[in-house]
Structure 1
């Protein structure tokens, strides 16, 4: 079976991640990350709602990476985003990064808010 490499064009995929960091378009980001096709920057976690609410009308789904393991998203967090019109899907950070990249390569309107993986940062 032939394997086709994903095409991202000018969009910003998550290149890699490790303990406490993410690499997007060759730039290392420490701590939590909010990434979408056009931009990547810091995300302060579940209490940092303003940049996520601002995604309303710009993305079809927001993938929320909960760290190394899948965890329920806090109900107040989900309620605020739903009220703003942002659909969110919680999953482990590795799964959220992969899912974001796959849908981004298909040209879908997606974003990811990712909590970092635990461990010592390099």
Structure 2
């Protein structure tokens, strides 16, 4: 079997997560986070849509992790994100982190907005 190195370019994958924190680029980050090719962005959680709306046109899909369990977004939140042109996929935070890393490794234009577990 031939193994290939995965290059993430300027983007950073999620190295790990735990109760209330994430590890990105080897550094711990407390609380919710938004991560894209541009790097780590401050995010206030599910009610803070401005940082997510700024990603419109920059990414094809936004993965939203709602914590340890998948919870649906409110209809108004989902509508605002989709109206901006973002493709939105909602899932649990662990699933969102794994999916983000895979899509990032494939060179896809992806962003991640996750609540801590």
Q: Quote how far apart the aligned CAs of 1:10 are.
A: 2.7
Unmatched 5+ stretches in structure 1: 118-122
Number of aligned residue pairs: give it.
117
Residue 59 of structure 2 is matched in structure 1 by: 59
**Structure 2: tracts of 5 or more residues without a match:** none
TM-score normalised by L of structure 2: 0.92
Q: Which structure 1 residue ranges, 4+ long, deviate > 3 Å from structure 2? A: 1-6
Q: Could you tell me how far apart the structure 2 residues matched to 1:88 and 1:111 are?
A: 10
Partner residue in 2 for 1:116:
116
How much is the aligned-residue C-alpha RMSD, in angstroms? 1.4
Counterpart check, 1:94 vs 2:94: yes
- How far apart are 1:19 and its partner, in Å? 0.4
Kept after mapping to 2: 8 A contact 1:35/1:111: yes
